Structure 1
Amino acid sequence: MSADAGDSPAFAEGGLEARLLGGLDEEQREVATTLHGPLCVLAGAGTGKTRAITHRIAYGVHTGVYSPQRLLAVTFTARAAAEMRSRLRDLGVGGVQARTFHAAALRQLQYFWPQAVGGAVPGLLEHKAQTIAESARRLRLTVDRAAIRDLASEIEWAKVSMLTPSTYLEGAAGRGEPGGLQPQTVARLFQAYEDVKVDRNLIDFEDVLLITVGILQEDPKVAATVRDQYRHFVVDEYQDVSPLQQRLLELWLGEREELCVVGDASQTIYSFTGATSAHLLEFGKRHPSAAIVRLVRDYRSTPQVVGLANALLAARRAGGPAADAKWAQPLRLIAQRPAGPEPEYAECSDDEAEAAAVARRIGELVAAGTEPKDIAVLFRTNGQSEAFEQALTAAGIGYQLRGGERFFNRREVRDGLLQLRGAARAAADDGVALPQRVRDVLSSLGYSEQAPTGSGATRERWESLAALVALADELSAARGEGFGLPEFVDELQERATAQHAPAVQGVTLASLHAAKGLEWDAVFLVGLSEGLMPISFADTPMTVDEERRLLYVGITRARVFLHLSWSLSRTPGGRAHRRPSRFLDGLRPAGSTASHARAGERRARRELKGPTVCRVCGTILSTGAERKVGRCSNCPPTYEEATFEALRAWRLEQAREADVPAFVVFTDATLTAIAEARPSSLGELSQVAGVGKAKLDRYGEAVLELLRGA
């Protein structure tokens, strides 16, 4: 127990201590009872870091060490801040401030602007696209929507890295050409963007931090006021701090060291935004007296999932002095859950087959009792979601696209909130429990205890209302009898502001970046082929390392079931030129390809039959071209020359009509195989290697007619 709390009357009967510390493991308890900083918590995925730091805050408040109004907890998303506030309220310390860096800085800026700057605070520019487009027009530059998006990201990176238009060129060396523009042009556009904002009397989110830093640096009175207001700081996800955020944190602290930081360098996946794990890794150097606690007991995932996550990081090899210096020694997680199923691996012929296989496997899990809301499909890029949306729709499985329409913007949710707010104003204390009252109110909007059959708009509407009911059940159980409808409406309003949505009854589709901080019983990691994982533009050892960490984040989202898949080609019948991600080398079972999927069809057939041999001389065939035609290169062809030349002439005509290279229609090896096999039906033609369903549908009848004529 902390020396600060040992004689507190609040612990005379041990009840509070048992409630706040009793459920913590040894390392979590050390975090919770180390009430004075500096403290650095290195917390692996699933090790209960949020539990440890919220219990630390609650323990400090209840023992009188912390004043709730003088402690600021900072995290990186409004959703995470809202979740932290909710947990703190559950622990009886609702007065603690939990905010993002931007939200905390904006409150200070609005308060101190009149005395530090004077006049009204400029308007806040929430989206950069139109302003960047206007800046480009001023410079007579032509930029499309994709380029504007890239330039917005580059300007954000530059500002959080504390670069100005005049220092951008030096600081951005080696970053390529954002939006297809040379660095000198980007610097000019950066300056034009700043000029447009001045003309419009606007500031952006990065300016909020920059101006707050400037005021705290230049005005001792303001700095003293802020430091008097906040005496203790907690920073979550500290591996994602940018240089600008770190500077703001240092100014908040002044000369004090009452700081607790929490993070995991192995989950640094936002370097492209300016985030760096250097502040976390060098915390002990900056604060030599810091206590360092490592949380490695993983309560989220089974030993099978944890083992794969550990193995992925351990498989990383040296990437050169610069990359090796930035690669942190990973925390080796120790699983605390019972054993579960081994991870599944599936190799599919194409993207469509992969999506269908995943949908089928999800259907099996749902039939076996896993709820759809406890299942996620995670991918590297948002463009990959469409195939899985279609496959799940075809399978009659509901889904929610994370990053799509926001939960609290849905019509039925807005209507529900209005109805609940009205009921809260009119409600008398009639003894009806909160969960039942919420059900009664939402029944007028279409809620029922039984879900409607099928999918579509009616089902989606019901799922949104059911999510509100489930949240009422959850909060009522956590907050007790004093938590009624007015308090529930207040909670919903705060969650709507922070976009802290409850779980909806549907499979989650999300990018790996969007999945950070979330978890599900079953996780499908899809598209794990070279070019997608790692992504094709990860062309340096450091960017490949970041992709490895991104896959680690994906793996550690799974509690029990983990399915990893990839496809050999993009489209049905396309050339199978893809290969599995290098990150899977040595991790997936040797010789294993798929489970529960129409996966690796051609390879599986070859393995069942044994090695393919030349039909003429019996030699084992070693190349794809030899296996495609069924004979080795040393044996003479068995087709008629006229047939082969007729096929080549037809292929050239098709290629010219479609304006594509000839091999896109059929390769030489496939033409040779067709000429030698001389199929007489579509069924026989489909058995020729290189003739997939798409090509059979497009060219099959024409090829058979040509062969009959020949």
Structure 2
Amino acid sequence: MNKLLFHPVPPGASATRVPRAAAASAKTSRELVRGDEPDAGYFRTLERDGILLNASQIAAVRHGDGPLLTLAGAGSGKTSVLVCRTGYLLSVRRVSPGRLLLLTFSSRAAAEMRERIGRLPGIGGMELSGLQARTFHSFFLYFLRRQGVRQEIFHETRRQHILLKAIMRELGLPKDAYPPESLLSLLSSCKMNMGDADSLPELTNADKEIKEILKRYEQWKQDNGKIDFDDVLLHAYRMLQERPGLLAELQRTYLYIMVDEFQDTNALQYELIRMIARPRGNLMVVGDDDQTIYSFNGARSEFILEFEQLYPEAKVITLDINYRSGPAIIGLGNGIIRGNTRRRPKTLRAAAPEGVQPRYLRPYTADEEAEAIVEYMVSAVEQGERSYGDFAVLYRASSSSRAVLERLLLRDIPYIDYGEGRLLYEHWLISPVVGHLRLTVNRRDFAAMEDMLPTLYISREQGMAHIHRMEAAQPKQGPLIHLLSLPGLADFRQTAIRERLDMLRHLRELTPLQAIRQIRSRFYDSFVLADERHQATLHRETLKEMLDELELSAGRFGSIPLFLDFIDEVTSRNEHHRLPGGTEQGDRVALMTIHKSKGLEFPVVVLLGASEGILPHSSALDAGRLKDRQTAEGGGEALALLEEERRLAYVAVTRAKEELLVSSPALHRGRKAPVSRFMLAAFGAAGAAGAADGGAGAGRQGARSGGGNAGSGAGLDGRAAAAGADADSSAGRGGYGGGAARHGRFGGADGKGGGAAASSRTRTIAAWSCPAAACPGWMRVKSGGAEDHLAHKPCPLCGTPMERGSRDVPV
């Protein structure tokens, strides 16, 4: 990979000075705790074990009675503080282990805390069996079991999904009417706000269907003696409300309560904590409002922001020394997050004096981004500088992983996907479109027929049963035609089936990109976006984003069979590489959303999609226009959504221990995408949104010319001339980029003809050209008359209708 593609500042940044965090004081407990202080012995034992605390950490560890808010910046050693304060209470203040309650959010974090407490010097021999260091769910399940609650925990996701699909069939709904994961998320959100299925709204038909599904789901659990993890918290809350004696017993038992990752607490968890801590107020909460990124799960940053309103006597301690990263990575994080207004003011300082500066990439598309990133990883591993397990690839939305995941599969590079493990082409939204493409190649593909039937408003079960019944009596080359004899079919439905059959015949002549665009424009977009069921369970911008990503993938291929072969190849490889949930990363590249990465750290972090519309996401940028996304932040929805996007960017960059690579594709969903305002703001860009237009498309030509910023308009124009803008043209006709000799049938570089621009010979071709003055976009006119019926075609850069004409290109 050409390393000139990397830049020391984001293309389009208004300043070249790299933000750096200030150096932190090197003083530790050795200098800060005098030998004549009563608790000096405790700190000396910690020091002998290599635990050296800074001034803020010491203050938090020494905190006695009363509420304490510990603001723990990224990488500031919050777990050490929780562990050492526990040890302090046990060894110095002589509190019984059974009087302490430590709550966190993951089993791994709880296990690590218990292990580290047990290894503290002076604690190892102490009886710690009564010490409660658990997750919220584990502790309150322990509480319920002691009260005689015996219901089995119903927690296997697969079984939950099977049950929900069965209930949908009972109600006469399609089995995929609502994604089970979305239904479970909706129910969970309701319970975390102290509600239940009966309290769900009934404003639309979709609302009523969802409510009925979830009420039956809850009834099945009750009839079969099951509860899920959300029920554990809700049952405990109601039991403590109804039985004051039980609450009083908990309050007497647990004199000191400590809560980790406090920014992730939802309303139900917060109430449970408050109830137990209420008499004495010996509550220590540790968290970072700058890392509140789970508002969709009910997490609320105001629990930290307004802590003193509930506890006026609370002490606030800020842990602001980052021990994870170098000054430049921390400085970038500081520069990003300071743009938020609703936050506790804090600026992280660096414990490490030096470190590698973040580097920035400005590829043209997501596929070029993937090629650059994967080549970088391969090169680093081959040179012995890194192992694959050092790398984590983070992204805002799951669809952004499509290109990188495909490159890893085609190169046989080990990886672990911390998402659902499915490829884009397997998603319920995408499979009907792929099904239409398959039917253009094989009219007897019955699985594809089943996938596309719902788009004709025909039940899968009813439609396929009829087709198979008629096929047995009178086989057809194209069995879909049997739908015309489906009993009770209205005239307009028959017309729609005939139109679809005619459309499938014509799609065969098109490229996959042209075919997908026709499918979308003729019926699929309106089918998806008009369906209340889809709107109720998935944000409409996410639906369009995934379909646009499918177009981007299809644009690399010159024929539908080639595209389908590619889908089959990567799907097969993904099945082979797929790892079971809970598998450790090992020596594999980690792929995960930013949400999944919180609380983790990696030697090398690659942040994909740091462009406007991706991060910040279009759903936040369009919050004023789109009314179907809600936030737990209350008023000022647009501002709240944008600030959460900024927190996501902050979380992403602060996961990096040694190296940080930030990539900002110049093209997203067919339009120019400026570098993310969050990156530019860290370099002092005023009104950073849109300031990156100068860097848009600084691809290979701009980078190879040796320009430090590679962000001129010439870089974009040259890139387009090299066939990058010609996304659905001849570049794709030789298969996936033309690198078959190097990586097998579909692998390799983008095949974009890098040497063509060097030639002085030209020829004239038919071309679409964008009339917008500032846009250099153009595309070849498809040969064979495939586009003769088109009067205009949308520009792949800005979306403006392009005009047909001619263009001189290098031979």
Contact 2:42/2:92, CA 8 A, preserved across alignment: no
Q: What SS class does the counterpart of residue 305 from structure 1 fall into?
A: helix
Superposed CA RMSD in Å reads: 4.3
Q: For residues 467-503 of structure 1, what are the alpha-carbon distances to aligned partners after superposition, in whole Å with 9 as ceiling and x for unaligned?
A: xxxxxxxxxxxxxxxxxxxxxxxxxxxxx9x95x765
Residue of structure 2 equivalent to 1:369: 385
Q: 1:610 to 1:391 in 2, by over 3 A?
A: closer
The separation in 2 between residues aligned to 1:329 and 1:14, in whole angstroms, is 30
Contact 1:527/1:565, CA 8 A, preserved across alignment: yes
The separation in 2 between residues aligned to 1:84 and 1:502, in whole angstroms, is 19
Q: 1:517 to 1:125 in 2, by over 3 A?
A: closer
The separation in 2 between residues aligned to 1:629 and 1:395, in whole angstroms, is 31
Picking from 293, 312, 315, the partner of 1:269 is: 293
Does residue 507 (structure 1) correspond to residue 559 (structure 2)? The answer is: no
Contact 1:73/1:234, CA 8 A, preserved across alignment: yes
Picking from 362, 366, 388, the partner of 1:351 is: 366
In the TM superposition, residue 662 of structure 1 has moved relative to its aligned partner by 5.0
In the TM superposition, residue 511 of structure 1 has moved relative to its aligned partner by 1.2
Residue of structure 2 equivalent to 1:557: 655
Residue of structure 1 equivalent to 2:134: 99
Equivalent residue letter for 1:513: H
Q: How does 1:416-431 map to 2 (within 5 A)?
A: none
The separation in 2 between residues aligned to 1:97 and 1:53, in whole angstroms, is 13
Picking from 577, 583, 588, the partner of 2:678 is: 583
Contact 1:357/1:596, CA 8 A, preserved across alignment: no
Q: For residues 219-266 of structure 1, what are the alpha-carbon distances to aligned partners after superposition, in whole Å with 9 as ceiling and x for unaligned?
A: 234323333432221100101111111121123234121211001111
Q: 1:601 to 1:391 in 2, by over 3 A?
A: farther
Q: Which sits farther off after the overlay, 304-313 or 528-537?
A: 528-537
Q: What SS class does the counterpart of residue 260 from structure 1 fall into?
A: strand
The separation in 1 between residues aligned to 2:200 and 2:349, in whole angstroms, is 44
Contact 1:40/1:260, CA 8 A, preserved across alignment: yes
Equivalent residue letter for 1:358: I
Q: 1:532 to 1:593 in 2, by over 3 A?
A: closer
Q: How does 1:535-546 map to 2 (within 5 A)?
A: 535-538=617-620, 539=623, 540-546=638-644
Residue of structure 1 equivalent to 2:247: 223
Q: 1:624 to 1:303 in 2, by over 3 A?
A: farther
Residue of structure 2 equivalent to 1:672: 805
Residue of structure 2 equivalent to 1:61: 90
Q: Which sits farther off after the overlay, 130-139 or 268-277?
A: 130-139
Does residue 516 (structure 1) correspond to residue 598 (structure 2)? The answer is: yes
The separation in 2 between residues aligned to 1:14 and 1:122, in whole angstroms, is 45
Does residue 162 (structure 1) correspond to residue 194 (structure 2)? The answer is: yes
Stretches of structure 1 that go unaligned for 5 or more consecutive residues are 115-119, 317-323, 406-460, 465-495, 613-620, 631-643, 685-710
The separation in 2 between residues aligned to 1:527 and 1:609, in whole angstroms, is 18
Q: 1:592 to 1:330 in 2, by over 3 A?
A: farther
Residue of structure 2 equivalent to 1:200: 224
Equivalent residue letter for 1:672: G
Picking from 148, 156, 163, the partner of 1:113 is: 148
Equivalent residue letter for 1:72: L
In the TM superposition, residue 275 of structure 1 has moved relative to its aligned partner by 1.2
Q: How does 1:527-676 map to 2 (within 5 A)?
A: 527-538=609-620, 539=623, 540-569=638-667, 575=670, 577-587=672-682, 606-607=713-714, 628=776, 653-655=785-787, 663=794, 671-674=804-807
Q: For residues 424-456 of structure 1, what are the alpha-carbon distances to aligned partners after superposition, in whole Å with 9 as ceiling and x for unaligned?
A: xxxxxxxxxxxxxxxxxxxxxxxxxxxxxxxxx
Q: 1:154 to 1:522 in 2, by over 3 A?
A: same
- Higher relative CO (Cα under 8 Å, sequence separation at least 6) belongs to 2
Q: What SS class does the counterpart of residue 357 from structure 2 fall into?
A: coil
Picking from 122, 132, 136, the partner of 2:168 is: 136
In the TM superposition, residue 368 of structure 1 has moved relative to its aligned partner by 6.3
Residue of structure 2 equivalent to 1:124: 154
Q: 1:134 to 1:340 in 2, by over 3 A?
A: same
The separation in 2 between residues aligned to 1:377 and 1:89, in whole angstroms, is 34
Picking from 273, 276, 296, the partner of 1:252 is: 276
The separation in 2 between residues aligned to 1:515 and 1:568, in whole angstroms, is 25
Picking from 35, 38, 51, the partner of 2:67 is: 38
The separation in 2 between residues aligned to 1:166 and 1:125, in whole angstroms, is 21
The separation in 1 between residues aligned to 2:402 and 2:114, in whole angstroms, is 35
Residue of structure 1 equivalent to 2:264: 240
Corresponding pairs, count: 540
Q: 1:401 to 1:653 in 2, by over 3 A?
A: same
Contact 2:164/2:217, CA 8 A, preserved across alignment: yes
Q: Which sits farther off after the overlay, 39-48 or 274-283?
A: 274-283
Residue of structure 2 equivalent to 1:285: 309
In the TM superposition, residue 350 of structure 1 has moved relative to its aligned partner by 1.6
Contact 1:519/1:557, CA 8 A, preserved across alignment: yes
TM-score, length-scaled by structure 2: 0.59
Contact 1:110/1:121, CA 8 A, preserved across alignment: no
Contact 1:243/1:275, CA 8 A, preserved across alignment: yes
Residue of structure 1 equivalent to 2:110: 81
Q: Which sits farther off after the overlay, 204-213 or 280-289?
A: 280-289
In the TM superposition, residue 312 of structure 1 has moved relative to its aligned partner by 1.2
The separation in 2 between residues aligned to 1:368 and 1:536, in whole angstroms, is 39
Q: How does 1:390-401 map to 2 (within 5 A)?
A: 390-392=406-408, 397-401=413-417
Residue of structure 2 equivalent to 1:419: none
The separation in 2 between residues aligned to 1:372 and 1:54, in whole angstroms, is 32
Q: For residues 629-656 of structure 1, what are the alpha-carbon distances to aligned partners after superposition, in whole Å with 9 as ceiling and x for unaligned?
A: 99xxxxxxxxxxxxx9xx97x7794148
Picking from 78, 99, 104, the partner of 1:49 is: 78
Q: 1:393 to 1:259 in 2, by over 3 A?
A: same
Contact 2:792/2:801, CA 8 A, preserved across alignment: no
Equivalent residue letter for 1:507: V
In the TM superposition, residue 555 of structure 1 has moved relative to its aligned partner by 0.8
Q: What SS class does the counterpart of residue 345 from structure 1 fall into?
A: strand
Residue of structure 2 equivalent to 1:699: none
Contact 2:364/2:699, CA 8 A, preserved across alignment: no
The separation in 2 between residues aligned to 1:554 and 1:287, in whole angstroms, is 32
Q: 1:669 to 1:64 in 2, by over 3 A?
A: closer
Q: What SS class does the counterpart of residue 595 from structure 2 fall into?
A: coil
Q: What SS class does the counterpart of residue 358 from structure 1 fall into?
A: helix
Q: What SS class does the counterpart of residue 151 from structure 1 fall into?
A: helix
Aligned residues: percent identity?
Answer: 30
The separation in 1 between residues aligned to 2:792 and 2:262, in whole angstroms, is 51
Q: 1:237 to 1:383 in 2, by over 3 A?
A: same
The separation in 2 between residues aligned to 1:354 and 1:379, in whole angstroms, is 12
The separation in 2 between residues aligned to 1:656 and 1:198, in whole angstroms, is 63
Q: What SS class does the counterpart of residue 284 from structure 1 fall into?
A: helix
The separation in 1 between residues aligned to 2:783 and 2:138, in whole angstroms, is 62
Contact 1:344/1:564, CA 8 A, preserved across alignment: yes
Q: What SS class does the counterpart of residue 76 from structure 2 fall into?
A: coil
Q: 1:292 to 1:140 in 2, by over 3 A?
A: same
Equivalent residue letter for 2:343: A
Equivalent residue letter for 1:556: T
Stretches of structure 2 that go unaligned for 5 or more consecutive residues are 1-28, 422-575, 624-637, 686-691, 720-768
Contact 2:698/2:711, CA 8 A, preserved across alignment: no
Q: What SS class does the counterpart of residue 348 from structure 1 fall into?
A: coil
Equivalent residue letter for 2:234: L
The separation in 2 between residues aligned to 1:245 and 1:106, in whole angstroms, is 13
In the TM superposition, residue 402 of structure 1 has moved relative to its aligned partner by 2.9
The separation in 2 between residues aligned to 1:381 and 1:626, in whole angstroms, is 30
